[in-house]
Structure 1
Amino acid sequence: MSQTCEVGEWLAFDGGLEVLVEDLEPFAPTHLDRDHQDGDTYVRFTVCARNTSPRARKAMRAHRREHPRAPAPSGDLSEAARTRMIEKRAAERVQAAKKARAAVRMEVEARVQLWADEVRAHRTHDPEQSILAGLHTTVPRRRTRKATYAFRVPADSLDHVRVVIVPSVNDRLQEEAEWTAEVEAPDDALLDDSLPRDDDTDDGAAEASEEETEARQPSFRERRQNKRDHRRQQIKSTNGAVL
């Protein structure tokens, strides 16, 4: 069963990771999506990931308290069985130590979705407003990292918004969690009719790239090769040699 809370509250996951969703609000993108329809609303929010894991030594002390060292095997066990038990206990301690050390610097990723009235919103990006790849970073112990997400919500679907996040810590998926909120309808002037669409910007970028390619200066290797070819042509025309 997934964890549920309201926007602005922290949720704790296994291993010392805590996640927060905040600042959920409508905004005006730099460019409208290609599939933008009249009445669609653009919503953005911030996802914060905080590493609250203890130090590795403290985590190992807690592990030893929960898993006290068992007495040496005795009885009618064979030598092979006694060896397997000892190796199993040693492997458990090694795995616990690796987990404690890895938690000090978490590799955190997040799969983020936004649902509005049971309709999945379309994620959008806006590099000019620092809305890019999302949360994919290293979080040291006692530090917090943030990422901004943006989604295009269909018209009249802001009454019940759910942000669903499935975090991953050191390549291990955590349980699903969701944050609920009610977003106020934005003012009609938020989205100006003059905002360009992505397809228009793509055409402009293509034209700009073609102009840049035409105006591009030859590289150092190209200039050097051109000089060699020119020198060979001079020698060939002067001496009649075939090079």
Structure 2
Amino acid sequence: MRDDPVAVIGLVVLLVIVLCAIFADAIAPHDPTLQDYNAMLEAPSAQHLLGTDDLGRDVLSRLIHGATASIYASLLAVGVAALLGIPVGLIAGYTGGWVDEVISRILDTFLSFPAIVLAIAVTGVLGIGLTNAMLSVGIVFAPQLARLARARALVLKQELYVDAARCFGASTWLILKNHVLPNAIQPVLVQITLLMPVALLAEASLSFLGLGMQPPDSSWGSMIARAYVYAQIAPAQMYAPGIAILVTALAFNTVGESLREALDPTARR
């Protein structure tokens, strides 16, 4: 990764965004929920570098605090997907037989639905809110990681060291934990990295539809949703969160691609 300047830039961008998310209270110049009805929809100025929204709140402060929500949402969604998908995929691939067949058909059923539609349906069951929305996204993402983990387990269970562990009487749990998972984790980690920008966009989509972050808190998706109403009279409001989503997604993709090339020599240019 150090030999790829684009990946280094992506990593630096991600580091800056994460630091902004962690230290949002200290970095933000204003209270993101403070309303000033005498300064509604103001253009960028020395006092408000990115202007104000329709309630007079500082856009820059809401953008910085929105980074906290958006990064948290992405981590939550991908974390849930990993916790659900990886064990299921490993069990299906290693066990084989009817267990693999049943799990594979369930995964195929989930994958047959458009991701955002399924996420909206699950959010409707769990309830509106950022955490529930991202739990639903994690459930939708889980089959992708499960399929990848299953494919790796199908290959690894044929290896000699796995056969040796069976001969010594190791249980299925120990074989999966000590032999299959460590050797299957590299491509899964790459896929997790590449899912981060997808989770970020999913959060923005669900918040735009009103299913994610709820007022008065902000995320980048909810900021775009609110600014969209005033797009004709104050279009600049949409630029900041939109660019933030674009830059963060590109940074995640760049780091993910670099990680894939580093872990898979056949993928190197």
What TM-score range do you get, normalising by the shorter chain?
under 0.3
Higher helix share: 2
Per the normalisation by structure 2, the TM-score is 0.21
TM norm structure 1? 0.23
Higher relative strand content: 1
Instruction: Choose 1 or 2 for highest CA Rg.
Output: 1
